[in-house]
Structure 1
Amino acid sequence: MPGQIDWIELPAADTGKARTFYGGLFGWGTSEFGGDYHVIDNGPAGAIAPREDGFTHPRVYFTTEDVDASVKRVHELGGTSEDVQTVPGVGRIAHCHDDQGTPFSLYEPAAQS
């Protein structure tokens, strides 16, 4: 459903410490997806990822049926976006800011065959 929260990412300066913290708090386990990116196994759909410039707060991904059309609409409404990225086997994403500077991301799932 468009607009539904599909995925969250929690940034961490030390992903090992973050996994220990959230594991202790909520009982979450994680699986390494690649590099230092760890998918949450038994909690919300999301991951614990390395903190980077511009990625210092939780990132929320909203589902869209057409990420290109949604990015165009973001711009029409006064927001901004980075380029659309393809994540092989996952779908397409775009990191955006609304017209007040609040960050969010858009996610178009990969076509199911």
Structure 2
Amino acid sequence: MPGQINWFELPAADTARARTFYGGLFDWNTTGFDGDYHVIGNGPAGAIAPRENGFTHPRVYFGTEDIDASVKRVHELGGTSEEVQAVPGVGRITHCHDDQGTPFSLFEPASQG
């Protein structure tokens, strides 16, 4: 559903330690996906990912049915966005900032057709 949070990512300097911490706290288990990216299997829809420059706080993804139209609207409202990226077999994403500089991301699922 458009506008709902449908994915999140927790950045970690040491993803193994983060998986141990959140596993102990919430009993989450994870599965590796594409290197050091770990999808949460028995909790909310999200992942533990390597911390990078500019990715030091949890990242939320809002669902959209048309990421191109949403990116256009972000810009019309005074926000910014990075280039839309395809995630094969998953969908399309982009990282944005609203008109006050708050970061968020958009996610358009791959068509089920």
Fold agreement, TM-score > 0.5: yes
Partner of residue 45, structure 1: 45
Partner of residue 96, structure 2: 96
Partner of residue 59, structure 1: 59
Letter in 2 for 1:14: D
- Alignment root-mean-square deviation, CA: 0.5
Displacement of 1:83 after TM fit? 0.2
Any gaps of 5 or more consecutive residues in structure 2? none
Aligned counterparts of 1:4 and 1:59: Cα–Cα separation in 2: 14
Partner of residue 71, structure 1: 71
Any gaps of 5 or more consecutive residues in structure 1? none
Spell out, residue by residue over 1:53-109, the C-alpha distance to the aligned partner (whole angstroms, 9 max, x if none). 010000000000100000010011010000000000000001000001110000001
Partner of residue 5, structure 2: 5
Displacement of 1:18 after TM fit? 0.2
* % same residue: 83
| TM-score, normalised relative to structure 2 | 0.99
Instruction: Give 4+ residue runs of structure 1 displaced > 3 Å after superposition.
Output: none
Aligned counterparts of 1:65 and 1:32: Cα–Cα separation in 2: 27
Aligned counterparts of 2:107 and 2:40: Cα–Cα separation in 1: 18
| TM-score, normalised relative to structure 1 | 0.99
Aligned counterparts of 1:30 and 1:64: Cα–Cα separation in 2: 26
Matching of residues 23-34 of structure 1 within 5 Å: 23-34=23-34
Partner of residue 16, structure 1: 16
- Between the two proteins, the alignment pairs up a number of residues equal to 113
Partner of residue 110, structure 2: 110
Displacement of 1:34 after TM fit? 1.4
